[in-house]
Amino acid sequence: MTIDADVVIVGGGPAGMATALFLIEHGIDVVLLERSDKPHADPRAATYHPPTLEMLEKSGVTAELHQRGLIARHWQLRDRQAGLIAEFDLAVLGEDTRYPYRLQCEQHKLVEMMQRRVMQSSHSRVLHGVDVEAISQDESGVTVHGRQATGDCLIRGRWLVGADGGRSVVRKSQDIAFDGFTWAERFLVITTDFDFATQGYAFSSYTMDPIEWVATFKIPGDRPQGLWRCVFPTRPEEDEVDLLDHTRAANRLAALSSATYGSKIVHTNLYAVHQRVAKTYRRNRVVLVGDAAHVNNPLGGMGLNFGLHDAYELAPRLAALVRGEADASTLDVYDRRRRSVAESVLQAQTIANKKLLEEKDPLTRAARQQELRDTAADPERARHYLLRTSMIEGLRAAAHIR
C-alpha cells in the first residue's frame, strides 16, 4: 500500500492529533500514523491552560472540553504540616484571556475529541496499527516505511511531523540529540474516589514537603462525582510491585489525610520522569512537536499544553509552505521560537516547581512560602505570577523571536 499526502504525521497523541486538526483548518491534506489501535486511557495529563483553550476554540474542542471537563478557577500551594499556604485566583487574568481558569479533563478524552473531528474531514486520513520502521527524505519529500498487520506500507509526504513521544523513532531517524537528564525518582500516580475538596483542597493543589510532596487534582473520570489523582515522588530503591499495590497506595493516601480511610483506589501508575529538549526541532523536511521535541516533569501541567502550542505554531507555517506562500526558512523560525521557550520557560518552570515542593532547608522553605502568600494577596503581583504559570507570558515572549 502506498499513500501520498501534503503532510505526514507520525504519532496520534495530543500533539500529533492537534497538528492534524490545525492543518485541516488550513485545508491541508494530512495522513496521520498511530502505532496503537486506540488512545491510551491510563493516567496522563489532564490540565489545560488558558492559551490552549483559545487555540482549540475554532474547532469546537474547547466547547466540548467545557461540557465534559471541570473548571478550576483556583489553585493552591499547601504544606503537608501547615496546610494551606496560598491560593491563587486565575480570575485576575480576566483582561489577558477569554478563559481565566484551568480546565481539567483527561488527555485520552481530548485525543478522542480531536480525532473525531480530524476523521470527519475530507483532508485527512488516520491509520492506526502502523509501526514506523524507517524514514528517509530527499529534496522533494519524505518517505515513511511502515508495517501493518496486513503487510508493509509506504507513506509519502512533502513534509513530515514527528509527534511520536519521548522515544521518538522520527527524532532518532534524523540523528537529533535529546539533551537533558532523568530524575532519580519515579513518580507514582494514585487515582482515588476520595473527595479532597472536603478537606479544603482546590481542584488543583500542590503540597510541599521535604520528604514526600504531593500534587492533587480533580478529574471528571467516569462518574458524576469525579475522581482525584495524587502524584507522589518515590525512592529509587522502592519496588515497582509494592508501589503499585492498592493496599500500599491506600496507606500512602492515609498518611496524607486520615480522612481517606475507606476510599477506593481506582488506579495506580508509575513512570520515569525526564527533562530533555531536542537539539533542533527541524531536520530539512522533518519537524518535531510535543514529547518528541521536549519532555519534562508534570508539576504545573505544562507538558501537554506545550505540545499543543507547538502544533498551533507549526500548522500555519506548514500550510504556507504547501501553498507556496513561504519558503523553508519559516520552519527555522518555528524551531527558534518553540525550542527557545522550551529551554527558558518549560524546563526552567517545571524544574523550579519540583524544587519548590521538595525544598529541604526550613528557612528557605519558610521564606518561599511567605513570598507566595504575599504574591497571592496582591492582585497585580498575582497576575504577573499567573501570566507565567498559565503559559501566557512564554507565548508572548516567543512571538517576538524571528
Residue pLDDT, tens place only, 281-314: 999 999 999 999 999 999 999 999 999 999 999 9
Buried b (16+ CB within 10 A) or exposed e, 153-183: bebbbbbbbbbbbbebbbbebbebebeeeee
* DSSP-assigned beta bridge partners for residue 74: 89
| The pLDDT of residue 247 is above 90 | yes
* DSSP-assigned beta bridge partners for residue 75: 88
Query: What average pLDDT score do residues 72-99 get?
Result: 97
What confidence score (pLDDT) does residue 191 get?
97
| The pLDDT of residue 43 is above 70 | no
What confidence score (pLDDT) does residue 316 get?
98
C-beta separation of 96 from 152 below 8 A: no
What confidence score (pLDDT) does residue 53 get?
98
Beta carbons within 8 Å of 115's beta carbon, 6+ residues apart: 12, 17, 39, 126
Share of the chain above pLDDT 90, in %: 93
Residue from 109, 297, 306, 70 nearest 204 by CA: 70
Question: How would you classify the pairing of strands 74-79 and 83-89?
Answer: antiparallel
User: Which helix (H) or strand (E) element contains residue 169?
Assistant: helix 169-173
Name the maximum alpha-carbon separation found in the chain. Answer: 65
| The pLDDT of residue 345 is above 90 | no
C-alpha cell at 251: 496507606
**What is the C-alpha separation between 399 and 402, in angstroms, rounded?**
8
**For the chain, which domains are there?**
2-181+274-398 (3.50.50.60)
179 to each of 129, 191, 276, 279, 376, how far by Cα in Å?
30, 32, 5, 7, 35
Query: What average pLDDT score do residues 147-162 get?
Result: 93
| The pLDDT of residue 100 is above 90 | yes
Q: Give pLDDT tens digits for 170-193.
A: 999 999 999 999 999 999 999 999
C-alpha cell at 127: 491509520
What confidence score (pLDDT) does residue 21 get?
98
**What is the C-alpha separation between 66 and 109, in angstroms, rounded?**
12
- H helices of 206-328, in order, are 240-244, 246-256, 303-322
Beta carbons within 8 Å of 320's beta carbon, 6+ residues apart: 326, 330
